[in-house]
Amino acid sequence: MRLLLVEDDAMIGESLHEALVGENYAVDWVRDGRSAELALGNDVYDLLLLDLGLPKKQGLQVLSEYRQRGGMLPVLIITARDATADRVSGLDAGADDYLVKPFDLDELFARVRALLRRQAGRAQPIIAYGGVTLNPASREVFLNGSVLNLSAREFALLQALLDPPERVLSLAELEEKLYGWDQEIGSNAVEVYIHHLRKKLGTNFIRNVRGVGYKVAAI
Amino acid sequence: MNSIRQRLLLWLIVGMLISTGIAGLSMYLLAQDEANELFDYQIKQIALSLPGSSQLPVVTADDEDPEEDNVIQVWDAQGKPLFVSYPSRALPRYVATGLHTVNYRQQPWRLYNTQRRGQFIQVAQPMTVREELAAALALRMLMPFFVLIPLLAGLIWWSVGRSLRPMQDVTTALATRHADAMQPLDETDLPQEIKPMVIALNQLLMRLDQAMQSQRAFVADAAHELRSPLTALKLQLQLTERTSGDEQRTIAFTKLNQRVDRSIHLVQQLLTLARSEPRLEQAQFTDVDLSALAYEVAQDFMPLAEAHQTELRLELQPDVRVSGQQVDLRTLISNLVDNAIRYSSDGSQVRLCVARETGHAVLQVIDNGSGIPADERERVFDRFYRREGTEVIGSGLGLAIVRNIAAVHHADLELSDNSSGSGLVVTVIFPL
């Protein structure tokens, strides 16, 4: 899952970036409204975390223009503006959720998970598919009831393939979901992780769609 | 007695009583004069109308009120009493003729003596008769006043109460309003005596309203701005909790410390700003040596300048004195020097100059950093205004504090470009 974090405060941005990376999200952090617009143009993100008081272009303007262009990303506003009118205008401009600073990291993570869940079109917090059960909150994976030990990257890769399942993702898309701008990607890193996952889940669980990419398929 | 109504009533009634008393006394004296004249004439006529040489019967039967009546006595040429009207009250024979006043048995009498055909006639009248008549007359003339005074008292009580009703209305209007209702009181149709008070009150309300609005804006701004360092602090605290390993924990604690420092800095600046807000009463000014103060501040900033490899150069004319508050002026210079060092790139130069010009003392802080564009020079004095793209962690309050302190000292504040290349010049011009 790749998130775009828009936050002008260096200290807050740094901590949020660190915290989200710690949750195995790929995070790109930009610090003003213009850069946010540029980054959104890439269309590789699963969620937008947006501060409102931004240099160069205000967060609300960035958001409403993004929605006018047809942007579908779930948007979570994180701001110090706590007045009811601010919340209303934030949500009316197209935000899906609104979090007032200072907030708790666990709450932020929960809201991010909830938004991603809805974006993938499901209501259940746990993803179950073909004998595999994945819990994004506790980051546990079960195969036919028994716990699987996955590395952080393996977990992120599996979640990308399962949420929603049976969608075909290219190698490039998978790389984008796993790595932010600031992370080095080994030339065949994703293929290595797929190889590891196949060993743990069974070879046929992750299918190679020739010439397109990968998808999960129930055995 | 603290009621205007009671006080007015008391003084008016006392005044009326005193003037009634004076009027009564003068009426009594006038009436007494009249009575004297009248009775003198009366006793003279009695004496003159007595029949001559007749043998008058001696009257023995006193009438009902003998005290008030005249005593008529007649003697023959040898001094033998021929007649006395009330023997029980017979007076001695006074030789002097005409009208005169005597004391007999501790009582003043008025006498008229005359001699006719060998007879000596004396008519005496007690003075009390005259006094009683005068008093009765005076009292009768004063009677209307005694009716008038209670009537007037009632009238005063009622009319004063009625005249003071606008005051009562003002009191009610003030008493029943909310603490935050600062709209002015109605000034129309007010009596001349109360109108200035209400106008003054409205002006006070207006000033209070302005002060409260600026305080409210300040608190709202401060609440908003406090959230950022607190958010950074809380996030870092939660991240620190999650760290494992000594190295990670050390880094996390360093960051935690930076964020606490930032919060402390903001709170300190907020408090300094609140203190520097222009006050209504004039602050206590003393004679401050601006050059010496600038020198002291520069010493304090040497370590910071060294850390930024900035050359802090002093150009101070000795003994430039202004009237002001030492503590505030130190804050002003410190904020300007601090800004100049922090917002200039490393290896730059900051000049702190104090000079005396005709009628002014001039303090300048000159850096060769990136400067401030002309269109932002007004806004940088707004509280919490931070220029876009500044990497330096600041509160956005430093220049707002400087502006407040300059205003309290009636000093002019100017931002301009550094003529020798890039950079900003902050000029504070103090009146001498």
Task: Tell me the Ramachandran region of residue B230: left when phi exceeds 0, alpha when psi lies from -120 to 50, beta otherwise.
Answer: alpha
Name chain B contacts of A18, Cβ cutoff 8 Å. Answer: 239
Q: How confident is the model at residue A76 (pLDDT cuts 50, 70, 90)?
A: very high
Calculate mean pLDDT across residues A143-153. 87
Q: Quick one: pLDDT at residue A50?
A: 95
Q: Where are the beta strands (DSSP E) in B117-252?
A: 119-126
Calculate mean pLDDT across residues B107-130. 86
The token duo for B67 is 């005290």
Mind listing the pLDDT tens digit for each residue in B228-269? 889 999 999 999 998 888 898 999 999 999 999 989 988 888
Mind listing the pLDDT tens digit for each residue in B356-399? 988 899 999 999 888 888 888 888 888 877 777 666 777 788 88
pLDDT at A181 over 60: yes
Rounded Cα distance, B329 and B339, in Å: 15
pTM of the model: 0.64
Q: In what order do the strands lie in the sheet with A2-6?
A: A26-30, A2-6, A47-50, A75-79, A97-100
Cβ separation A11–B242 shorter than 8 A: no
The distance of A187 to chain B (nearest Cα, Å) reads 29
- Give the residue with greater pLDDT, B105 vs B151: B151
Contact partners, residue B253, CB within 8 Å, separation at least 6: B240
The token duo for B256 is 């935690």
Rounded Cα distance, A65 and A39, in Å: 14
What structural domains and CATH numbers belong to chain B? Answer: 4-152 (3.30.450), 195-274 (no CATH), 282-431 (3.30.565.10)
Mind listing the pLDDT tens digit for each residue in A95-110? 999 999 999 999 999 9
Q: Quick one: pLDDT at residue B58?
A: 55
Burial class (CB within 10 angstroms; exposed 0-12, middle 13-18, buried 19+) of B384: middle
The distance of B378 to chain A (nearest Cα, Å) reads 18
pLDDT at A82 over 70: yes
Calculate mean pLDDT across residues A111-140. 88
Task: Give the C-alpha distances (Å, rounded to integers) separating B122 from B60, B61, B70.
Answer: 18, 20, 10
What structural domains and CATH numbers belong to chain A? Answer: 2-120 (3.40.50.2300), 127-216 (1.10.10.10)
Name chain B contacts of A16, Cβ cutoff 8 Å. Answer: 235
For residue B280, give the nearest of B329, B330, B211 by alpha carbon: B211
Cβ separation B235–A12 shorter than 8 A: yes
Rounded Cα distance, A128 and B99, in Å: 146
Name chain B contacts of A103, Cβ cutoff 8 Å. Answer: 231, 234
Q: How confident is the model at residue B274 (pLDDT cuts 50, 70, 90)?
A: confident
Mind listing the pLDDT tens digit for each residue in A1-59? 899 999 988 899 999 999 999 888 999 999 999 999 999 998 889 999 999 988 888 99
Q: Quick one: pLDDT at residue B62?
A: 53
Three-state secondary structure readout of A157-176: HHHHHHCCCCCCECHHHHHH
Share of chain B above pLDDT 70, in %: 93
Cβ separation B255–A15 shorter than 8 A: yes
Mind listing the pLDDT tens digit for each residue in B303-349? 989 988 999 999 999 989 999 888 889 999 999 999 899 888 878 88
Q: Quick one: pLDDT at residue A74?
A: 95
- Give the residue with greater pLDDT, B278 vs B32: B32
Nearest CB to A56 within list B227, B262, B388: B388
The token duo for A50 is 């947006």
**Taking all residues of chain A, what is their mean pLDDT, rounded to a whole number?**
89
* ipTM > 0.85 for the complex: no
Rounded Cα distance, B73 and B94, in Å: 11
Name chain B contacts of A11, Cβ cutoff 8 Å. Answer: 229, 232, 236, 255, 258-259, 262, 393
Name chain A contacts of B388, Cβ cutoff 8 Å. Answer: 32, 55-56
Nearest CB to A22 within list B242, B258, B388: B242
Q: Which residues of A touch B (CB under 8 A)?
A: 9-12, 14-16, 18-19, 22, 32, 55-56, 80-81, 100-106
Q: Quick one: pLDDT at residue B421?
A: 75
Calculate mean pLDDT across residues A116-132. 87
Q: Quick one: pLDDT at residue B52?
A: 61
pLDDT at B280 over 50: no
Q: Position of tokens 């666990």?
A: A106
Calculate mean pLDDT across residues A196-215. 86
Nearest CB to A12 within list B225, B228, B238: B228
Name chain A contacts of B394, Cβ cutoff 8 Å. Answer: none
Name chain A contacts of B392, Cβ cutoff 8 Å. Answer: none
pLDDT at B117 over 70: yes
Beta strand B119-126 with B71-75 is: antiparallel
The distance of B355 to chain A (nearest Cα, Å) reads 39
Please report the sign of the dihedral spanned by the C-alpha atoms of residue B74, residue B76, residue B79, residue B81.
negative
Q: How confident is the model at residue B296 (pLDDT cuts 50, 70, 90)?
A: very high
For residue A32, give the nearest of A10, A16, A17 by alpha carbon: A10
Nearest CB to A11 within list B227, B238, B259: B259
Mind listing the pLDDT tens digit for each residue in B57-71? 555 545 555 566 788
Nearest CB to A55 within list B228, B242, B389: B389
Nearest CB to A15 within list B225, B230, B235: B235
Cβ separation A104–B234 shorter than 8 A: yes
